[in-house]
């Protein structure tokens, strides 16, 4: 019976994709059901599986085949118990994933279900279209003259190449803010412009942020730009007006003459030198994370670096 | 004597990369290229109706089918080709006789105690339907035919003796000529199940004197879904049509049908022409290219080798221990071992195909309270080397299975 329980689970899964396996799953179900109701398994599936397994083993290891044949029922029960235990453990992991966002519970350890996330969004980037996407080719950039926030002597340095007009950079922004809130004493955050030219006004938005910086309001304006997706010239000036103390006339003039285009271009060149292939791209103490990752994924890398 | 290695080259599957050791010939034989080619030819070159149209293709198809009937006539030694009726298999032949013969209430039918279901179930059904009586001969203790007991049970009330010639279960061949003589002495007719005997022994229905004989193509290198029924011409008018329709009649009105003479009378609807042509080619191949002396020699040599090995393992062989009495079949079981598992392990571990189960002879196994057996059935293309490989594989499998 034990082997039929295993067959039922295995072939039910395979049966999703193949009709021939579905037939075996049905046989296994019939066998399990009959045995549970104290009747004899009539399909002969248990015997077939036993013969197939031991027959195959005979070709490679006759002694193992003999042992397997003799102790088939015991081995089947051991496998069944392991199968049930692993199913239980997987269910617990799934519950944790739903409840805590991590299959290990309230922890930042690696979770196998992380593999599910890239299917949706976390690997999504706004591609710059000039470099082949390859994580291994990424080169860690220097902080340089880029804007930073956080302690200078922080153990963890996060460098982001971002684009204000990129939806994925915008999606990552709340997580970045959460990271900076949680690790404000341990993390130095560096932002480098990498405006994706296919997005309207992306270069203009980057230059506008430098104009805000001229008056000491870079990070305030940075936040506003990620909160709003309209980066037309009029909108950029309007956004600047939201910052108390910022001289909008000076800002408008700065924007009009594109005074800081070279600053932005320098960072674009840095991005190119690092083989950046899209935004957002993060480097946490040199380890690249491409796309809008979850807070837990950031947390896992940061905590490892802090140890 | 034909060269077995040369003959093996005719069989595509035996020359494939992962060629099996095929010992399930009592169920279904392999097919040589000569049979496959003529069947393909029908579909590729003249795929038309037989005996209905007047165009060239139909004429050619008619010639080929007529030639196949002639080949089958020669194969079983019938007097006329019209005595050969094409059926789907031997089973259909038994059903045809069961439904066409003019049985009367209380007529007696005699079967042996080890008939294949094909020669048992039709009689069980017709027995109920027409109020017949069915009696059964019992075999000797070694499963050979008990002629004396048969003679004692015969009486004038027996209408038909429907009996197997070579048993597919144990390979034992019944003395059909003797049986036919005794039956005829009592005025009974004789229907023979020749499915297992025609592939292994030269058959001559004129000589054996049987009235009917059903046999199948798939057990003698022919296509599956094809069979034939020999009907001695003296019975052609006394048999009522069975399956009727197109081709069985020469004329119809809204009120009645005028039936053709055999074979048309019994071959309703469009036939399996490719199958018929293939069947003829198979008969021709066996008779001319192989020869029954080769078959007999191979059957015996292989059966001897395997029988010796089985006796070494204390296996119980169904039927006589002497291999020469069991044609190409050795049916056995080992106490405490599951037959199906043994067969599957031979297949999985050594690519050897044998049959396990009750071989469609449920009645005999039920009567003897046995679960079934493993049946090794060889044919002329099996070699001594294959028999030795079987023996080696059996040693290994039993080493694993026996505690």
3-state SS record for B207-252: HHCCCEEEEECCCCCCCCCCEEEEECHHHCCCCCCCCCCCCCEEEE
Of A93-107, B31-45, B145-159, B302-316, where does mean pLDDT reach its minimum?
Answer: A93-107
Per-residue pLDDT band for A38 (boundaries 50, 70, 90) equals confident
**Domain co-membership, B298 together with B284:** no
Mean pLDDT for chain A overall: 87
- The whole-number pLDDT of residue B302 equals 98
Which of B288, B313, B339 marks a domain boundary? Answer: B288
**pLDDT above 70: residue B374:** yes
CB contact under 8 A, A58 and B403: no
Check residues A121 and A3 and name the one with the higher pLDDT.
A3
**Domain co-membership, B126 together with B250:** yes
**pLDDT above 70: residue A136:** yes
What is the mean pLDDT of the segment spanning B314-318? 97
**Domain co-membership, B296 together with B280:** no
- The whole-number pLDDT of residue B307 equals 98
CA angle B147, B153, B159 (to 5 degrees): 105
What is the interface size between A and B, counted as CB pairs within 8 Å? 43
pLDDT digits (tens, 9 = 90+) for B115-157: 999 999 999 999 999 999 999 999 999 999 999 999 999 999 9
CB contact under 8 A, A58 and B341: no
Catalytic residue IDs of B: 360
Give dist(CA B123, CA B110) in Å, integer: 9
CB contact under 8 A, A62 and B403: no
**pLDDT above 60: residue B68:** yes
Q: What tokens appear for A132 in the block?
A: 């082949």
Calculate what percentage of chain A has a pLDDT beyond 90. Answer: 49
**Domain co-membership, B279 together with B317:** no
Distances (CA, A) of B384 to B5, B21, B290, B301: 11, 11, 17, 7
**pLDDT above 70: residue A121:** no
CATH number at residue B59: 3.40.640.10
**Domain co-membership, B269 together with B319:** no
Nearest CA in chain B to A66: B400
Per-residue pLDDT band for A107 (boundaries 50, 70, 90) equals low
Q: What tokens appear for A42 in the block?
A: 């009539």
CB contact under 8 A, A62 and B400: yes
Sign of CA dihedral A40, A48, B374, A56: negative
ipTM of the complex: 0.75
Nearest CA in chain A to B351: A55
Give dist(CA B359, CA B355) in Å, integer: 8
**pLDDT above 60: residue B208:** yes
Q: What tokens appear for B130 in the block?
A: 């027409």
pLDDT digits (tens, 9 = 90+) for B172-196: 999 999 999 999 999 999 999 999 9
What is the mean pLDDT of the segment spanning B329-346? 96
- The whole-number pLDDT of residue A105 equals 74
Instruction: Give yes or no for B389 touching A (CB within 8 A).
Output: no
Instruction: With beta carbons under 8 A apart, name residues in chain A contacting B338.
Output: 47
**Domain co-membership, B9 together with B128:** no
- The whole-number pLDDT of residue A108 equals 62
DSSP H/E element including B134: strand B133-137
Instruction: Give yes or no for B4 touching A (CB within 8 A).
Output: no
Give dist(CA B374, CA B360) in Å, integer: 13
CB contact under 8 A, A51 and B399: no
**Domain co-membership, B335 together with B283:** no
Check residues A103 and A114 and name the one with the higher pLDDT.
A103
**Domain co-membership, B274 together with B339:** no
CB contact under 8 A, B340 and A66: no
Burial A42-77 (b: 16+ CB within 10 A, else e): ebebbbbbbbebbbebbeeebeebbebbeebeebbb
**Domain co-membership, B52 together with B10:** no
CB contact under 8 A, A58 and B340: no
**Residue B278 in contact with residue B217, Cβ under 8 Å?**
yes
Q: Tell me: cis bond preceding B246? Omega within 30 of 0 counts.
A: no
Closest to B378 measured CA to CA, from B296, B309, B322:
B296
- Residue B332, beta-bridge partner list: B317, B374
- Boundaries of domain holding B349: 4-30+291-401
pLDDT digits (tens, 9 = 90+) for A292-306: 888 888 888 898 899
pLDDT digits (tens, 9 = 90+) for B7-40: 999 999 999 999 999 999 999 999 999 999 999 9
Cβ-nearest to A51 among B344, B396, B403:
B344
- Residue B230, beta-bridge partner list: B84, B213
**Domain co-membership, B283 together with B350:** no
CA-based nearest distance B372→chain A, Å: 14
Instruction: Give yes or no for B188 touching A (CB within 8 A).
Output: no
DSSP H/E element including B43: helix B33-45
Give dist(CA B52, CA B70) in Å, integer: 20
Q: Which of A40, A58, A59, A70 is the best residue to mutate to test the B interface, defined by the most B CB atoms within 10 Å of its own CB?
A: A58
CATH number at residue B361: 3.90.1150.10
CA-based nearest distance A67→chain B, Å: 8
CB contact under 8 A, B399 and A66: yes
Q: Which of A46, A49, A51 is the best residue to mutate to test the B interface, defined by the most B CB atoms within 10 Å of its own CB?
A: A51
Instruction: Give me the number of domains chain B comprises.
Output: 2
Cβ-nearest to B340 among A44, A62, A69:
A44
Give dist(CA B176, CA B190) in Å, integer: 9
CB contact under 8 A, B344 and A69: no
CA-based nearest distance B89→chain A, Å: 28
**pLDDT above 50: residue A104:** yes
Of A225-234, B61-70, B382-391, where does mean pLDDT reach its minimum?
Answer: A225-234
Which residues of chain A approach chain B closer than 8 Å at the C-beta? 44, 47-48, 50-52, 54-56, 58-59, 62, 65-66, 69-70
Instruction: With beta carbons under 8 A apart, name residues in chain A contacting B348.
Output: 51-52, 54-56, 58
- The whole-number pLDDT of residue A120 equals 41
Per-residue pLDDT band for A116 (boundaries 50, 70, 90) equals low
CB contact under 8 A, B399 and A62: yes
- The whole-number pLDDT of residue A33 equals 82
Which of B236, B253, B288 marks a domain boundary? Answer: B288
**pLDDT above 90: residue A13:** no
Which of B240, B264, B288 marks a domain boundary? Answer: B288
Set out the domains of chain A in order of their start, with CATH numbers: 2-100 (no CATH), 125-306 (3.40.30.10)
Interface of B with A in 258-287 (CB under 8 A): none
Contacts with A293 (C-beta within 8 Å, 6 or more apart), sequence order:
A122, A172, A175, A282
**Domain co-membership, B46 together with B24:** no
Instruction: With beta carbons under 8 A apart, name residues in chain A contacting B403.
Output: 70
Cβ-nearest to A66 among B344, B349, B400:
B400
Closest to B331 measured CA to CA, from B365, B297, B282:
B365
**pLDDT above 70: residue A123:** no
Instruction: With beta carbons under 8 A apart, name residues in chain A contacting B398.
Output: none
First-to-last alpha carbon distance for chain B, in angstroms, is 45
pLDDT digits (tens, 9 = 90+) for A251-282: 999 999 888 999 999 999 999 999 998 899 99
- The whole-number pLDDT of residue B319 equals 96
Give dist(CA B372, CA B370) in Å, integer: 5
**pLDDT above 50: residue A119:** no
- Residue B257, beta-bridge partner list: B252
**Domain co-membership, B362 together with B220:** no
Per-residue pLDDT band for A135 (boundaries 50, 70, 90) equals confident
């Amino acid at each position: 019976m034990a082997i039929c329980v295993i067959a039922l689970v295995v072939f039910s899964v395979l049966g999703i994709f193949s009709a021939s396996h579905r037939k075996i799953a049905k046989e296994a179900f019939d066998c399990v059901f009959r045995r549970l109701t104290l009747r004899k398994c009539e399909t002969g599936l248990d015997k077939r599986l036993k013969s197939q397994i031991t027959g195959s083993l005979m070709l490679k290891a006759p002694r193992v085949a003999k042992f397997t044949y003799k102790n088939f029922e015991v081995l089947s029960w051991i496998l069944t118990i392991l199968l049930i235990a692993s199913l239980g453990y997987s269910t617990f992991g799934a519950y944790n994933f739903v409840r805590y966002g991590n299959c290990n519970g309230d922890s930042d350890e690696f979770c196998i279900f992380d593999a599910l996330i890239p299917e949706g969004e976390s690997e999504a980037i706004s591609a710059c279209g000039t470099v082949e996407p390859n994580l291994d080719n990424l080169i860690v950039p220097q902080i340089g003259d880029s804007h930073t926030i956080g302690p200078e002597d922080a153990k963890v340095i996060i460098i982001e190449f971002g684009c204000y007009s990129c939806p994925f950079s915008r999606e990552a922004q709340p997580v970045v803010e959460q990271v900076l809130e949680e690790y404000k004493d341990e993390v130095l955050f560096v932002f480098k412009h990498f405006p994706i030219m296919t997005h309207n006004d992306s270069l203009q938005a980057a230059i506008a942020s430098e104009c805000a910086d001229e008056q000491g309001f870079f990070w305030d304006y940075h936040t506003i730009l990620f909160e709003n997706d309209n980066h037309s010239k009029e909108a950029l000036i309007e956004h600047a007006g939201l910052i108390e103390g910022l001289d909008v006339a000076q800002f408008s003039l700065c924007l009009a003459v594109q005074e800081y285009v070279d600053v932005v271009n320098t960072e674009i060149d840095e991005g190119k030198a690092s083989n950046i292939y899209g935004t957002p791209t993060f480097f946490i103490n040199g380890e690249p994370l491409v796309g809008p990752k979850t807070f837990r994924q950031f947390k896992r890398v940061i905590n490892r670096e802090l140890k | 004597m034909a060269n077995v290695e040369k003959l093996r080259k005719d069989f595509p599957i035996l020359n494939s990369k992962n060629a099996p050791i095929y010992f399930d010939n009592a169920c279904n034989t392999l097919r040589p290229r000569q049979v496959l080619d003529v069947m393909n030819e029908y579909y590729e070159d003249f795929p038309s109706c037989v005996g209905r149209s007047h165009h060239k293709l139909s004429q050619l198809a008619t010639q080929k089918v007529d030639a196949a009937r002639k080949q089958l006539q020669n194969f079983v030694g019938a007097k006329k080709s019209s005595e050969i009726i094409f059926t789907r298999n031997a089973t259909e032949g038994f059903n045809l006789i069961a439904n066409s013969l003019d049985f009367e209430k209380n007529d007696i039918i005699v079967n042996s105690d080890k008939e294949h279901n094909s020669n048992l179930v039709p009689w069980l059904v017709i027995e109920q339907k027409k109020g017949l009586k069915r009696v059964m001969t019992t075999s000797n203790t070694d499963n050979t035919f008990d002629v004396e007991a048969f003679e004692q049970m015969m009486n004038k009330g027996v209408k038909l003796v429907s009996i197997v010639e070579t048993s597919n279960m144990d390979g034992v061949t019944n003395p059909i000529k003797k049986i036919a003589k005794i039956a005829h002495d009592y005025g009974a007719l004789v229907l023979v199940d020749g499915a297992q005997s025609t592939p292994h022994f030269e058959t001559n229905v004129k000589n054996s004197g049987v009235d009917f004989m059903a046999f199948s193509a798939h057990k003698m290198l022919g296509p599956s879904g094809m069979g034939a029924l020999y009907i001695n011409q003296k019975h052609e008018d006394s048999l009522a049509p069975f399956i009727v329709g197109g081709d069985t009649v020469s004329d119809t009105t809204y009120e009645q049908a005028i039936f053709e003479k055999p074979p048309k009378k019994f071959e309703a609807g469009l036939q399996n022409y490719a199958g018929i042509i293939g069947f003829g080619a198979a008969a021709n191949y066996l008779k001319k290219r192989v020869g029954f002396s080769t078959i007999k020699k191979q059957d015996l040599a292989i059966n001897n080798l395997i029988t010796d090995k089985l006796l070494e393992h204390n296996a119980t062989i169904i039927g006589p221990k002497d291999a020469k009495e069991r044609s190409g079949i050795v049916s056995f079981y080992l106490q405490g071992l599951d037959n199906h598992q043994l067969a599957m392990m031979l297949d999985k571990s050594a690519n050897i195909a044998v049959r396990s189960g009750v071989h469609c002879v449920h009645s005999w196994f039920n009567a003897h309270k046995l679960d079934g057996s493993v049946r090794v059935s060889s044919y002329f293309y099996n070699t001594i080397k294959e028999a030795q490989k079987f023996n080696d594989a059996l040693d290994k499998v039993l080493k694993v299975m026996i505690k």
